[in-house]
Chain A
């Protein structure tokens, strides 16, 4: 990260000399446009590229910046440079408010968010046009004095735009390598999982949106002075956000430098065509480039370059490319006693204190009652099996307890703290962690990054470097160390299931909820997974275990709870519970009249 920033700053310093070389003003104007678009595209990418929420409202924030500067400078005689922070603040404030409203609605994602921000642009434009801010004829800034920063007016604009571009890129780099950026990339891949792993998604999105808008506001303020005549028709266009999107997508949205690369290419291309009096050709070329890039290079120039020259995600390059030397061959043994684990309480009775206590938990989806007043206790140190026929509410219970869905009613107390109704990332930080029945890894992060993320956001909240050291330990623990730099798509199902384990464990949970981790595995893989679960328990982690593979349930669980139709049907030691006629009936249906219930020893019931 330091290296990237030093390089950017160095390049900036070198470029800052240009106005003093005595080149024709024409070069400065061209470069002004280049910096202008670099700053706009990079600022857009902070929210949209990193977190995947494509905003089409960048024109609005840019325009708010323009009008803030125009109004303050022309009507209130505020010195031009002082209007820039105000422009940033106004745009950021508007972005924050819009984000605060829009991100409350879960379904406003993808194209809907794009439309919403586009609509916001026109609302802002209409208001500006019809109020004294503009009033119709536009605002002139020609009388506003320009500070003498550079050797000439064009040099001044050059330096201002350069400063804005530098500022934006440095912020983009900082965010990219920070916990903040990691969280945004996780939101991009799977927002629900990110939240459950401890990423405060709402706060991050609003913050990224405000930051992105604020920077666009600064660029707008400078542009207002540059064009010296501001009208709504020119400012609030649909072309601006689309151009910015085009630049970022062309360069690559998953890297901080991508939008800058795209901006340089497109601006120079357009310039080449307009200078040669073929503006129409320029448009055609831009359209063709956009279509071709999306079809053939969906990851952009940088994505393509990275694939081409060895996939080494820049985020990982900054940290441990190999496992720390302490952890290698006998890593499994090394990992086991970590965290000063109190070993499992004696025997299989599991009579420890209550870790999680659910009382009257209900959940309904419109008409469907998935949970009807579930009472349940999980004791510290035990493995509690959660059984029941399909649709009995087991997975719903995990979803409610992890905060994925809010409970309709009832209370869940975890380690003395009420967790029903608080957001999922806060539950994760309390020490509850879960796996998904169908693995949901972050598709664009490597295996290592996938596992490091919960360590950064879970109960520990550690820094990236330390998180990756821990991630290596969990990868060794689950036997995935060799695939650390692979992408999740390259793993087989068995490995993806173990990745789920590693990711859940990296959060240092007190309670680990496993949702059908064994389904789809071969018998030998099941044996391996069972051994793994035993090792996890040996470290003192409490486990809530939803499973259909009875062999594993019988081998692992201290106690089991059987769900049926959203209610607790039975609870107790495995063999005893499985022999109860009502449990058998729930699984296999009612026995025919006159027949004895089928003998249900644990081994036989392989439902």
Chain B
């Protein structure tokens, strides 16, 4: 019954941990430390990719989109389904996921804008959407853990003593590439400049002939498409369960806040900082201490520099 809802909230199932042989409270070897840092960067890249869409819609549209995580898992499950039963290459699913999620994002923004939701109400509404999507996932794919067995998972590059698994490398590449492209687009293109102007002051931007409503729809579609891409990456490297949606929220929000709202490179950089500090914490102490790092960082940022928001 009601308290069954309370049986959630683990930590993300990270398989990068498997690479480490943990010996709590002893000084880790150089290799172990280096491997933790690499693992941390890989995790951080996914944090950054997940955080990117969130940061853009929070910073530029003033919407706090909890459903971003649910969308990412929807993307992950779709990838899982298509790859496991349809034999589609996980990366090819992007061709389908990106446009579909773009439309989903546009629709969601249309609803939020139609009812003039305040930032806080957008948080509550998208939480409602998250519950609905989670229930849908559970209905279709059950609450059991699922794991995508793709050909990518078997490939591991070796760089000296370090292992670099291919799915993680793909995630890192996508995350860095997309963040850079969006950063450049916002700075250099007319469309990007118009978006930044509209985010700064929509009525004034409108007075200069910028159709800020259309831009907002586009941005929100982009944000949802990013959730879909992050979903593919989650499917490549992580175990899936509907309840896992919630386990990402805290740490990704920490990245978003730490990176500064609406800054495309922010989540990636902050994600790597948090990812590495978590991984090193895991290597030096025990894995269960990891959340302390990210959330203490978040609290420190909120208290020391609340103006970033």
Q: For residue B246, which residues in chain A have a CB less than 8 angstroms away from its CB?
A: 237-239
Q: For residue A596, which residues in chain B have a CB less than 8 angstroms away from its CB?
A: none
| Residue B130 at the chain A interface, CB threshold 8 Å | yes
Q: For residue A274, which residues in chain B have a CB less than 8 angstroms away from its CB?
A: 1, 4
Q: Which of B232-250 contact A (CB under 8 A)?
A: 246, 249-250
Q: For residue B5, which residues in chain A have a CB less than 8 angstroms away from its CB?
A: 237, 239-240, 243, 270
Q: Which of B79-87, B116-124, B207-215 lies at the binding interface?
A: B116-124
| Residue B107 at the chain A interface, CB threshold 8 Å | no
Of A129, A233, A242, A288, which contacts B7 at CB under 8 A? A233
- 0/1 per residue, B97-127, Cβ < 8 Å to A? 0000000000000010001010111011101
Q: For residue B173, which residues in chain A have a CB less than 8 angstroms away from its CB?
A: none
Q: For residue B128, which residues in chain A have a CB less than 8 angstroms away from its CB?
A: 246, 286-291, 294
| Residue A413 at the chain B interface, CB threshold 8 Å | no
Measured CB to CB, the closest approach of chain A to B259, in angstroms, equals: 14
Which of B139, B290, B295 lies at the interface centre, i.e. has the most chain A CB atoms within 10 A of its CB? B295
Q: For residue B309, which residues in chain A have a CB less than 8 angstroms away from its CB?
A: 107, 111-112
In the complex, what distance in Å separates the CA atom of A596 from the CA atom of B148? 88
Check A33 against B3 for contact (C-beta < 8 Å): yes
In the complex, what distance in Å separates the CA atom of A110 from the CA atom of B302? 12
Check B127 against A242 for contact (C-beta < 8 Å): yes
| Residue B96 at the chain A interface, CB threshold 8 Å | no
Check A107 against B307 for contact (C-beta < 8 Å): yes
Q: For residue B121, which residues in chain A have a CB less than 8 angstroms away from its CB?
A: 294, 298
Which of chain A's residues has its CB closest to B296's CB? A123
Check A118 against B117 for contact (C-beta < 8 Å): no
Q: Contacts A118-B250, A123-B291, A294-B124 given: A111-B64 contact, CB under 8 Å?
A: yes
Q: Contacts A245-B124, A291-B125 given: A123-B1 contact, CB under 8 Å?
A: no
In the complex, what distance in Å separates the CA atom of A236 from the CA atom of B132? 22
- 0/1 per residue, A258-269, Cβ < 8 Å to B? 000000001100
Q: Contacts A122-B250, A130-B289, A295-B115 given: A114-B123 contact, CB under 8 Å?
A: yes
Q: Contacts A102-B303, A123-B291, A239-B246 given: A267-B130 contact, CB under 8 Å?
A: no
Q: Contacts A115-B302, A123-B292, A233-B9 given: A283-B134 contact, CB under 8 Å?
A: yes
Q: Which of A117-167 contact B (CB under 8 A)?
A: 118-120, 122-123, 125-127, 129-130, 136
Check A126 against B295 for contact (C-beta < 8 Å): yes
Q: Contacts A115-B253, A290-B124 given: A267-B2 contact, CB under 8 Å?
A: yes
| Residue B10 at the chain A interface, CB threshold 8 Å | yes
| Residue B135 at the chain A interface, CB threshold 8 Å | yes
| Residue A15 at the chain B interface, CB threshold 8 Å | no
| Residue B23 at the chain A interface, CB threshold 8 Å | no
Check B302 against A116 for contact (C-beta < 8 Å): yes
| Residue B37 at the chain A interface, CB threshold 8 Å | no
Q: For residue A107, which residues in chain B have a CB less than 8 angstroms away from its CB?
A: 306-307, 309
Q: For residue A129, which residues in chain B have a CB less than 8 angstroms away from its CB?
A: 288
Of B6, B254, B299, which contacts A240 at CB under 8 A? B6
In the complex, what distance in Å separates the CA atom of A243 from the CA atom of B131? 11
Which of chain A's residues has its CB closest to B289's CB? A130
In the complex, what distance in Å separates the CA atom of A33 from the CA atom of B2? 8
| Residue A54 at the chain B interface, CB threshold 8 Å | yes
| Residue B129 at the chain A interface, CB threshold 8 Å | yes
Q: Which of A225-261 contact B (CB under 8 A)?
A: 227, 233-240, 242-243, 245-246, 249
Check B303 against A101 for contact (C-beta < 8 Å): yes
| Residue B298 at the chain A interface, CB threshold 8 Å | yes
Check A280 against B135 for contact (C-beta < 8 Å): yes
Measured CB to CB, the closest approach of chain A to B268, in angstroms, equals: 20
| Residue A326 at the chain B interface, CB threshold 8 Å | no
Q: Which of B1-26 contact A (CB under 8 A)?
A: 1-10
| Residue A341 at the chain B interface, CB threshold 8 Å | no
| Residue B136 at the chain A interface, CB threshold 8 Å | yes
Check B250 against A126 for contact (C-beta < 8 Å): no
| Residue B31 at the chain A interface, CB threshold 8 Å | no
Q: For residue B298, which residues in chain A have a CB less than 8 angstroms away from its CB?
A: 115-116, 119
Q: Contacts A111-B120, A233-B7 given: A120-B299 contact, CB under 8 Å?
A: yes
Q: For residue A286, which residues in chain B have a CB less than 8 angstroms away from its CB?
A: 128, 131
| Residue B227 at the chain A interface, CB threshold 8 Å | no
Of A266, A270, A284, which contacts B132 at CB under 8 A? A284
Which of chain B's residues has its CB closest to A106's CB? B306
Q: For residue B7, which residues in chain A have a CB less than 8 angstroms away from its CB?
A: 233-234, 237
Q: For residue B139, which residues in chain A have a CB less than 8 angstroms away from its CB?
A: 280
| Residue A498 at the chain B interface, CB threshold 8 Å | no
Check A239 against B115 for contact (C-beta < 8 Å): no
Check A122 against B2 for contact (C-beta < 8 Å): no
Check B135 against A234 for contact (C-beta < 8 Å): no
| Residue A21 at the chain B interface, CB threshold 8 Å | no
In the complex, what distance in Å separates the CA atom of A243 from the CA atom of B111? 23
In the complex, what distance in Å separates the CA atom of A295 from the CA atom of B116? 9
Check A237 against B125 for contact (C-beta < 8 Å): no
| Residue B180 at the chain A interface, CB threshold 8 Å | no
Residues of A at the B interface (CB closer than 8 Å) are: 30, 33, 37, 54, 101-102, 105-108, 110-112, 114-116, 118-120, 122-123, 125-127, 129-130, 136, 227, 233-240, 242-243, 245-246, 249, 266-267, 270-271, 274-275, 279-281, 283-284, 286-291, 294-295, 298
Task: Jot down 19 A-B pairs with beta carbons below 8 A, ordered by A.
Answer: A54-B120, A106-B306, A107-B306, A119-B253, A120-B295, A120-B299, A123-B292, A123-B299, A237-B8, A240-B6, A271-B2, A274-B4, A279-B4, A280-B139, A284-B132, A286-B131, A290-B125, A294-B125, A298-B121
5 nearest CB pairs, A to B: A290-B128, A287-B131, A107-B306, A287-B132, A283-B135
Known: A119-B250, A238-B249. 17 other contacts (CB 8 A): A112-B306, A115-B298, A116-B299, A116-B302, A118-B250, A119-B299, A122-B250, A123-B292, A126-B289, A126-B295, A130-B288, A234-B7, A239-B6, A270-B2, A290-B131, A294-B117, A295-B111
